[in-house]
Copies of this chain bind each other. A is one copy, B any other.
Amino acid sequence: MKRSEIIQLLDGTHPKRSDAIAWAMNGLIILSAIVIALETEPGLPAELQLWLYRFEVLLLAIFAVEYALRIWASERRLKYIFSFWGVIDLLSFLPAVVLLTPEWQAVRAFRLLRLVRLFKLFRSLHALERLVAAFRDVREELILFVIIAALMLYVSAVGIYIFEHEAQPETFRSIPMSLWWAVATFTTVGYGDMYPITPGGRLFTSAILFIGLGIVAVPAAIVTTALLEAETNIGKKGKRKKKKQKKSEVIEPSETGTSKGE
């Protein structure tokens, strides 16, 4: 087995062998994310904590070995070490080394650094990469409409501040606080920690809400549409595609245009 094949195996891009190793690594990363989340839960039984700790040490070893293998198998080692993926591979086990020291319970923030591992998912989940590309495609319009939504929220916040500040000086105590209300309201999350109680404030909210919902929904709509489109373009070879082919066959005789709705 050649050196380069090792990297192909790790990346799941080997032309002949299965991509089982790459998938196993991805599984470990996701499992690791779950473990890191669980560890933050206070009052875990000591025994479970021990097992989580052992799992973490195991992962530390696996990712360290992967790093060593990738360096050894690289043709241009220094280039890999200082590349984006090289740094990610290093960081995916380095913060965990602190686990081996006796004070590991103390450094909470440092332990969350292990989540850098999640980036490794991008290497073999090509779907994720293309989705990032989908974001890049709509980046400009996304920025434009986030700015417009922000302006709308700002104006709503100033309005509700004028109406409610006197009645609820603690809750709507400032415009930045009112902005938080605007975000929670126009995204329809509506936590219930802040809401207008004066007739004026309620009328203002009702009046601006119907239109505002439409404006604030635009960024999310752009993202959803871009993701759905990207997914279609990724080209699942499944049933959906076949269906579309059948449809176009019906039209083919006259070779006329077909259009994609939205």
Contacts and interface: CB of A to CB of B under 8 A. Distances in A.
A65 interface: no
A202 interface: yes
Interface residues of A, number: 90
A137 B240 contact: yes
A215 B206 contact: no
A52 interface: no
Given A144-B231, A162-B109, A210 B206 contact: no
A154 B118 CA distance: 10
Interface string A228-261: 1001000010111000000110110111111111
Interface string A176-193: 110110011101111111
A102 interface: no
A257 B145 CA distance: 30
A151 interface: yes
A41 interface: yes
B255 A254 contact: yes
Given A144-B231, A146-B210, A176 B199 contact: yes
A99 interface: no
Interface of A: 33, 36-38, 40-42, 109, 112, 115, 118, 121, 127-128, 131, 137-138, 140-142, 144-146, 148-149, 151, 154-155, 157-158, 161-162, 173-177, 179-180, 183-185, 187-193, 195, 199, 202, 205-206, 209-211, 213-224, 227-228, 231, 236, 238-240, 247-248, 250-251, 253-262
